[in-house]
Amino acid sequence: MATKCWKLPQGIDYQRASATFEVTYNSDGELLRVVTVDYQPVRKAGEEFAISAQQALMECASKTAVKSRTIRVVMRFTATQSNGPLIMKRPLR
Protein backbone atom coordinates (compact mmCIF):
# COMPACT_ATOMS: atom_id res chain seq x y z
CA MET A 1 0.00 0.00 0.00
CA ALA A 2 2.02 3.02 1.18
CA THR A 3 5.39 1.27 1.08
CA LYS A 4 5.55 1.88 -2.69
CA CYS A 5 5.70 5.67 -2.08
CA TRP A 6 7.71 5.64 1.10
CA LYS A 7 11.17 7.18 1.12
CA LEU A 8 13.23 7.36 4.30
CA PRO A 9 14.50 10.84 5.16
CA GLN A 10 18.00 11.48 3.85
CA GLY A 11 20.97 12.00 6.14
CA ILE A 12 19.69 9.95 9.07
CA ASP A 13 21.22 6.57 9.88
CA TYR A 14 18.35 4.42 11.14
CA GLN A 15 19.05 1.08 12.75
CA ARG A 16 15.47 0.55 13.83
CA ALA A 17 12.40 2.78 13.64
CA SER A 18 8.63 2.43 13.69
CA ALA A 19 5.53 4.59 13.50
CA THR A 20 1.93 3.70 14.35
CA PHE A 21 -1.04 5.47 12.78
CA GLU A 22 -4.83 5.38 12.93
CA VAL A 23 -6.10 5.75 9.37
CA THR A 24 -9.78 6.57 8.81
CA TYR A 25 -11.69 5.94 5.57
CA ASN A 26 -15.19 7.09 4.63
CA SER A 27 -18.00 4.99 3.12
CA ASP A 28 -16.46 5.37 -0.37
CA GLY A 29 -13.06 4.10 0.77
CA GLU A 30 -11.49 7.55 0.57
CA LEU A 31 -8.95 8.68 3.14
CA LEU A 32 -10.40 11.05 5.74
CA ARG A 33 -7.51 11.41 8.17
CA VAL A 34 -4.22 9.99 9.38
CA VAL A 35 -3.40 10.35 13.08
CA THR A 36 0.06 9.54 14.44
CA VAL A 37 -0.33 7.41 17.56
CA ASP A 38 3.29 6.61 18.38
CA TYR A 39 6.79 6.60 16.90
CA GLN A 40 10.20 5.24 17.89
CA PRO A 41 12.85 6.43 18.47
CA VAL A 42 11.34 9.29 20.47
CA ARG A 43 13.60 12.07 19.24
CA LYS A 44 14.05 14.15 16.08
CA ALA A 45 15.03 11.14 13.95
CA GLY A 46 11.87 9.27 14.97
CA GLU A 47 9.72 12.30 14.29
CA GLU A 48 11.16 12.65 10.78
CA PHE A 49 10.63 8.93 10.21
CA ALA A 50 6.97 9.27 11.27
CA ILE A 51 6.42 12.30 9.05
CA SER A 52 7.80 10.48 6.00
CA ALA A 53 5.63 7.42 6.74
CA GLN A 54 2.55 9.62 7.20
CA GLN A 55 3.20 11.36 3.87
CA ALA A 56 3.44 7.97 2.15
CA LEU A 57 0.09 6.96 3.64
CA MET A 58 -1.53 10.18 2.45
CA GLU A 59 -0.08 9.85 -1.07
CA CYS A 60 -0.52 6.13 -1.74
CA ALA A 61 -3.27 4.94 0.57
CA SER A 62 -5.83 7.59 -0.25
CA LYS A 63 -8.26 5.12 -1.87
CA THR A 64 -8.89 1.57 -0.66
CA ALA A 65 -11.45 -1.21 -0.36
CA VAL A 66 -11.67 -0.45 3.38
CA LYS A 67 -14.91 1.45 3.92
CA SER A 68 -16.31 3.37 6.90
CA ARG A 69 -13.70 2.39 9.43
CA THR A 70 -10.52 3.32 11.18
CA ILE A 71 -7.61 0.92 10.92
CA ARG A 72 -4.27 0.84 12.72
CA VAL A 73 -1.20 0.85 10.50
CA VAL A 74 2.32 0.15 11.79
CA MET A 75 5.24 0.99 9.53
CA ARG A 76 8.65 -0.38 10.54
CA PHE A 77 12.20 -0.21 9.31
CA THR A 78 15.15 -2.36 10.38
CA ALA A 79 18.58 -1.85 8.85
CA THR A 80 20.21 -4.91 7.35
CA GLN A 81 23.37 -6.00 9.09
CA SER A 82 25.46 -7.79 6.52
CA ASN A 83 28.74 -7.81 8.41
CA GLY A 84 27.46 -8.68 11.90
CA PRO A 85 27.33 -12.10 13.54
CA LEU A 86 24.40 -14.43 12.93
CA ILE A 87 22.11 -14.39 15.95
CA MET A 88 19.83 -17.37 16.42
CA LYS A 89 17.00 -17.54 18.92
CA ARG A 90 17.03 -21.34 19.05
CA PRO A 91 19.84 -23.80 18.39
CA LEU A 92 19.63 -25.83 15.20
CA ARG A 93 19.80 -29.15 17.06
What's the pLDDT score for residue 63? 87
pLDDT tens sequence across 13-64: 778 999 999 999 999 999 999 999 999 998 999 999 999 999 999 999 888 8
Query: Which pLDDT does position 30 carry in this prediction?
Result: 94
Question: CA–CA separation, 6 vs 63, rounded Å?
Answer: 16
Backbone angles phi, psi at 45, to 5 degrees: -60, -40
Amino acid at 29: G
Looking at this protein, which amino acid is placed at residue 30? E
Instruction: Please report the pLDDT score of residue 87 as a whole number.
Output: 61
Distance, in Å, from the CA atom of 54 to the CA atom of 10, rounded to the nearest integer, reads 16
Residues with Cβ within 8 Å of 3's Cβ and at least 6 positions away in sequence, in order, are: 56, 75
